[in-house]
Amino acid sequence: MKKMLKVFGIITIVACLIVSVIACDKTDNSVKVVAVSDSEYASVEDALKGYVKEELAFSMHLDLMQQELDVVLAEYVSHESKGEVAGDNIKLSDDQKTGFVSAEKFAVKVKIALAPNSNKEADFSEATQTVYVLKYGEKYKFMVSTPEIGERVTNSYVKMLTEGSKYENCTVTAVGMEKEEEDEKPIFNSATEFKFTAEASYSVKYYDETRYNNRAPGKDEERYDMVSYVVKNGDSIAAVNKTYGADDEVKWMAINNSAGDVSTIKDYNKSMIQTYIFSIFNSIPAAIYTKTANGFEFKVEEVDSDGDKETVEYKITVSDEKVTGIYMIEAYTWSANDKTYVDSFESDIKISAFGSTTVTVPSEVTAALNK
């Protein structure tokens, strides 16, 4: 498959939620508070510009090079007041209420683009965001709420959704599918299942679709499924892995964790989820996505001079202020000899069983720790 797109575009999906006549009679004017800025500003416009900088732009700190790498550029264009909002309708915390005077709702027009490569200009597109400005004494702060459908997602919204404590007990499944030009449909590549609890964690990487569907890890003539438990081992933690030796003899091998900042199962769970699941929000930051009825997503298609098309699409599903699904597909489409071909790779991650996930540690794992 050819190298995938470097420049992403945005498509907006507008969804309509249809409710009953009875439900419509009960209007809820409350505003969800995702975050209130730490910084104070001298004017409303300054607060709105602060919102654009802090919530839509995105950069990464490169420790080795001691410099910031811009990933997403965001520029303030203009704003329009949508009127004052009753303070009782904004669900501020007790700390956020201290010194609070009033609130006003704004529609803010912005320009957003991925940071271009050297010697290229940024390809900006416009968006309109809902922003609240809170007055504290003679100063102002911006307030972030849940993005409205069709708006760009904000950094604080993603931070809220991916907060580590929400995923201390859950089950994660990730399935990868590939399609080569000669394949009629995508074919199973591999799948991984994680079970995270505070006492122990369990993971299996499956290389056979039937074994995955049956949740029965095993071995065939080509390879074996990788089974691992992470458990407490004294004051630290250890990974105990199932391996196969000569004549398919099963062996359990324990490896103590050497990372000083990961000393508990909760630390391990958080590290795994942030590194292997939510790290996508570093490569594809919040403002690249557009809010939908069920979460947020983006899709871009680019056609080159030969008529070949590259497509990248991500769909993030959100429920109860948690990420419950991440779907990704990258595809390359081209034609030859009056026939159309498609190469693709797709990944489908599901997060479920919040608060009800359990892990039973087999006796072989305990025995491996005592060797």
**What is the share, in percent, of the chain residues with pLDDT greater than 90?**
71
CA–CA gap between residue 328 and residue 317 (Å, rounded): 12
CB 357 within 8 A of CB 343: no
pLDDT of residue 105 exceeding 80: yes
Q: What is the pLDDT of residue 64?
A: 65
Q: What is the mean pLDDT of the chain?
A: 89
Q: What is the pLDDT of residue 222?
A: 85
- Residues 6 or more apart in contact with residue 300 via CB below 8 angstroms: 5, 7, 8, 9, 10, 11, 311, 312, 313
pLDDT, one tens digit per residue, over 51-72 is 999 999 999 877 766 678 899 9
Confidence of residue 262 (pLDDT cuts 50, 70, 90): confident
CA–CA gap between residue 228 and residue 252 (Å, rounded): 9
Q: What is the pLDDT of residue 266?
A: 92
**CA angle (113 as vertex; 111, 117 as ends), nearest 5:** 145
CA–CA gap between residue 360 and residue 362 (Å, rounded): 6
| Max mean pLDDT range (87-101, 112-126, 246-260) | 87-101
CB 351 within 8 A of CB 324: yes
CA–CA gap between residue 177 and residue 188 (Å, rounded): 5
3-state class of 231 per DSSP?
strand
Q: What is the pLDDT of residue 60?
A: 85
**What is the average pLDDT across 155-184?**
95
pLDDT, one tens digit per residue, over 314-325 is 999 999 999 999
CB 49 within 8 A of CB 76: yes
**What is the average pLDDT across 261-277?**
90
**What is the average pLDDT across 149-175?**
97
3-state class of 265 per DSSP?
helix
pLDDT of residue 80 exceeding 50: yes
Give the single-character DSSP code of 144.
E
| Tokens linked to 233 | 């081992």
pLDDT of residue 3 exceeding 50: no
CA–CA gap between residue 179 and residue 337 (Å, rounded): 20
CA–CA gap between residue 337 and residue 324 (Å, rounded): 43
**What is the average pLDDT across 318-344?**
92
pLDDT, one tens digit per residue, over 33-48 is 999 999 999 999 999 9
CA–CA gap between residue 75 and residue 57 (Å, rounded): 8
pLDDT of residue 172 exceeding 50: yes
Q: What is the pLDDT of residue 306?
A: 84
**What is the average pLDDT across 104-122?**
92
pLDDT, one tens digit per residue, over 220-231 is 888 999 999 999
3-state class of 19 per DSSP?
coil
pLDDT of residue 7 exceeding 90: no
pLDDT of residue 307 exceeding 90: no
Within 10 Å of residue 171's Cβ, how many Cβ atoms?
19
**Which residue from 322, 281, 325, 328 is spatially nearest to 300, judged by alpha carbons?**
328
CA–CA gap between residue 264 and residue 196 (Å, rounded): 12
- Strand spans (E) along the chain: 35-36, 58-62, 67-85, 100-114, 125-136, 139-144, 170-179, 187-196, 200-206, 226-233, 236-244, 250-256, 290-291, 295-303, 309-319, 322-336, 339-352
3-state class of 44 per DSSP?
helix
pLDDT of residue 208 exceeding 90: yes
**What is the average pLDDT across 115-135?**
92
| Tokens linked to 231 | 């458990």
pLDDT of residue 6 exceeding 50: no
Q: What is the pLDDT of residue 188?
A: 96
CB 56 within 8 A of CB 74: yes
| Max mean pLDDT range (1-10, 298-307, 333-342, 352-361) | 352-361
